């Protein structure tokens, strides 16, 4: 049985329980992080905890733990579970209150929950290519906050799955934002493009790593608004997130991207990304 952490205690996941009056359950008043562990080594944990800290501050949720203490707990959860490769899920809500009220009490104690799942599909140069569909972005305008208010994303993923697509990309007023569970990159004439953070997107940790790799490889690169026509005419298209790493999109709205195969720039980025994972393993 998987071991989790809940409000100061390590226990079996099926023994963990949270009050129905928790504001995370009632209002989605919570933030989360998803962290990959390769051979029990936490990948880019500092970047995840830095983002978590910023998100907590943006919501005025105050916890008694600093980043080093949170990291220590995450490591213990990872060690207490047997899988070599894991996905660690960390959620902090504003906490439980006796009476449901939109305005939170200042003395509410946050709920901290951390659990682990096996990471079954490791990033690989042999990763499958995927197909995606493009839809208007109907989410709120603070998608930079990694909030548990994910109903729009759930509906998007259900819609994509029902139509036989692997991911749903979003556009706002004709310009690309991101995927339902991913950031997006495209390549045109050997130059890499991705929407800027000001485009109401999540500052993804994997997105940040890919940008670092692009610079290390001295590739031509620009953070710019990407309109739909440019997107469909791209030579390459990729999505990035923690659980999948990088995946090439070879078809969008049933239109072939580039020549319909994994592009050369994608291949070079993936090779460098896998090297960073390898270097993180002690």
Q: What is the CATH number of the domain that holds 81?
A: 3.30.470.10
The 8-class DSSP code of residue 30 comes to E
Question: Mapped to the 3 state alphabet, what secondary structure does 50-71 carry?
Answer: HHHHHHHHHCCCCCCCCHHHHH
Read off the pLDDT band of 32 (50, 70, 90). Answer: very high
Distances in whole angstroms, Cα of residue 210 to Cα of each of 48, 72, 239, 270, 281: 15, 27, 11, 9, 18
User: Mean per-residue pLDDT for 214-233?
Assistant: 97
Residues 271 and 172 in one domain: yes
Q: How far apart are CA 104 and CA 160, in angstroms?
A: 36
State whether 271 and 229 are in the same domain.
yes
When divided into structural domains, the chain yields a total of 2
Q: Both 244 and 181 in a single domain?
A: yes
pLDDT > 80? residue 276: yes
14: in domain: yes
Residues 72 and 102 in one domain: yes
| 137 shares a domain with 83 | no
Pairing relation of β-strands 191-194 and 183-188?
antiparallel
| 269 within domain boundaries | yes
32 falls within a domain: yes
> What percent of the chain shows pLDDT beyond 70?
100
Same domain, 112 and 135: no
Domain of 193, CATH number, reads 3.20.10.10
Residue 125 domain flag: no
pLDDT band at 43 (very low <50, low <70, confident <90, very high): very high
> Do 31 and 113 contact (CB within 8 A), yes or no?
no
Average pLDDT taken over every residue of the chain: 96
Tell whether 136 and 16 lie within a shared domain. no
Same domain (yes/no): 137, 267: yes
Q: Is the dihedral of CA 246, 250, 252, 254 positive or negative?
A: negative
Q: Where does the pLDDT of residue 206 fall: very low under 50, low under 70, confident under 90, or very high at 90 and above?
A: very high
Q: Which of 118, 143, 173 is the last residue of a domain?
A: 118
Band (pLDDT 50/70/90 cuts) for residue 200 is very high
Whether 25 has a pLDDT exceeding 90, the answer reads: yes
- 85 and 110: one domain? yes
Residue 244 lies in a domain: yes
User: Mean per-residue pLDDT for 217-242?
Assistant: 97
Q: Considering the domain boundaries, does residue 124 fall inside one?
A: no
Structural domain of 192 = 130-280
The answer to whether residues 213 and 109 belong to one domain is no
Q: Is residue 27 part of a domain?
A: yes
Domain contains 176: yes
Alpha-carbon distance 75 to 117, whole Å? 14
Same domain, 46 and 137: no
In the block, residue with structure tokens 């195969």: 261
- The pLDDT assigned to 86 comes to 98
Q: So what's the pLDDT on residue 201?
A: 96
Q: Which helix (H) or strand (E) holds 79?
A: helix 67-80
pLDDT of residue 49 exceeding 90: yes
- Give the Cα separation of 97 and 209 in Å (integer): 39
Whether residue 6 has pLDDT greater than 80:
yes
Residues 114 and 134 in one domain: no
pLDDT of 282 reads: 72
DSSP assignment string, 209-247 = HHHHHHHHTT-EEEE---BHHHHHT-SEEEEEETTTEEE
Report the predicted TM-score, pTM, of the whole model to 2 decimal places. Answer: 0.95
* Span 150-175, pLDDT tens digits: 999 999 999 999 999 999 999 999 99
């Amino acid at each position: 049985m998987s071991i989790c952490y809940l409000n100061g205690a390590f226990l079996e996941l099926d023994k963990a329980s949270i009050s129905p009056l928790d504001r995370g359950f009632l209002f989605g008043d919570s933030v989360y992080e998803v962290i990959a562990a390769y051979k029990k080594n936490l990948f880019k944990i500092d970047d995840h905890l830095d983002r978590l800290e910023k998100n907590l501050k943006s919501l005025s949720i105050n916890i008694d733990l600093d980043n080093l203490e949170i990291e220590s707990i995450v490591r213990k959860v990872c060690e207490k579970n047997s899988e070599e490769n894991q996905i660690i899920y960390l959620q902090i809500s504003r906490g439980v209150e006796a009476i449901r009220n939109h305005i939170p009490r200042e003395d509410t104690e946050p709920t901290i929950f951390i659990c682990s799942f096996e990471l079954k599909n490791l990033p690989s140069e042999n990763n499958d290519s995927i197909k995606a569909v493009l839809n208007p972005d109907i989410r709120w305008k603070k998608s930079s906050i990694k909030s548990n208010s994910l109903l729009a994303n759930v509906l998007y993923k259900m819609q994509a799955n029902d139509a036989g697509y692997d991911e749903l990309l979003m556009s706002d007023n004709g310009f690309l934002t991101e995927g339902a569970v991913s950031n997006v990159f495209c390549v045109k004439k050997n130059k890499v493009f991705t929407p800027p953070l000001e485009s109401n997107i999540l500052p993804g940790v994997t997105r940040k790593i890919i940008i670092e790799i692009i610079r290390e490889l001295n590739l031509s690169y620009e953070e710019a608004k990407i309109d739909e026509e440019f997107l469909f005419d791209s030579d390459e298209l990729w999505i990035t997130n923690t659980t999948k790493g990088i995946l090439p999109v070879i078809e969008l709205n049933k239109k072939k991207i580039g020549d319909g195969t994994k592009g050369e720039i994608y291949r070079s980025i993936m090779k460098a990304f896998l090297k960073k994972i390898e270097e993180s393993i002690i």
